[in-house]
Amino acid sequence: MSLKTLKVYEKRAGCSKVKFGWNPQSVQWYLESEQNTSFYRKTVEELHPFIHDCKTLLDIGCGIGSFAVEFAKKGYSVTAIDKSSLAVESLMEKARLMNLSNLKVINKSFEEFIFDNNYDIVFISYMMGLVNDNNIIDFLKIANKRLVIVLPFSKIKNDFSINELYTELGVDLKNLEQFNYASMLNILNKRNYKYIIKKVSAEFGQPFDNIDEAVNFIYHYFKLPVERSDDVREWLNRKTTYKNGKLFLPNLRESMMIII
């Protein structure tokens, strides 16, 4: 184990809920996954028949903008907002290099954003902390035609088969519980909203240069016991394959699109 890897472990003792935040490393991981997998492209393709009559789209919590770019490439006029300046800078550079003049990027949170216009589509993907009873009302106020919410299919997070690793390590699966599409449907049903649901399964795995990077990836996103790092490494050795000359951790992501 390298000193750099060990230092990453030392910062993450104990076990708790899954966490997420943008930093230069996570931006790079997402960019590499975007380039090597089909999740974003396939999701937009599956959604297109439901929104083909729309022209403008607001992507709330766009992150590095993988969905925003796919929508812009299909000709939609896209406004993408996110509170992370790091993620927004990455998206702005991508839009510049691709000459996407129909993609406007704004560094603001949903709460800070001033809605001067409505949009044909309001799109939200995997922003589980943002989709609640009160916000749904606000989203619908600015959606002329469709509110589209993409959420995990499973109540227990199983990206990268991480639930199997937790079971092997004896870590409580409650730490992987997440807000999923069924939780959202409960909210919509209480308000008698009409909706369409469509399941999408697509590869969203992660390439790595080496096994040390793969271990760092797991410890970056999941708070697992430091003392079990050798077991994490052994599990990764079993799970990873090779793709395009790089180590690859497969991940068949199952999502549910909710179209309101």
pLDDT at 7: 39
Kindly report the CATH number that applies to the domain delimited by 3-259: 3.40.50.150
CA-nearest of 31, 66, 12 to 225 is: 12
Q: What residue type is 118 in one-letter code?
A: N
Structure-block tokens of residue 126: 């995997």
Coil, strand or helix: which one is 78?
Answer: strand
Write down the mean pLDDT value for the chain: 93
Structure-block tokens of residue 207: 């390439």
Given pLDDT bands bounded at 50, 70 and 90, which one contains residue 2?
very low
pLDDT at 3: 30
Residue 225 has pLDDT above 70, yes or no: yes
What percent of the chain clears pLDDT 70, i.e. is strictly above it?
A: 93
The pTM of the full predicted model, rounded to 2 decimals, is 0.91
pLDDT at 76: 98
Structure-block tokens of residue 142: 């600015």
Residue 17 has pLDDT above 90, yes or no: no
Per the CB < 8 A criterion, the answer to whether 71 and 57 are in contact is: yes
Given pLDDT bands bounded at 50, 70 and 90, which one contains residue 115?
confident
39 burial type by CB count under 10 A (0-12 exposed, 13-18 middle, 19+ buried) = buried
Given pLDDT bands bounded at 50, 70 and 90, which one contains residue 21?
confident
For the chain, the structural domain boundaries read 3-259
Per the CB < 8 A criterion, the answer to whether 103 and 76 are in contact is: no
Long-range contacts of 215-220 (CB under 8 A, 24+ apart): 215/5, 216/5, 216/8, 216/25, 217/29, 217/249, 218/160, 218/162, 218/165, 219/8, 219/9, 219/12, 220/8, 220/25, 220/26
Interior/surface letters 40-76, b for 16+ CB within 10 angstroms, e for the rest = bbbbbebbeebbeebebbbbbbbbbbbbbbbbbebeb
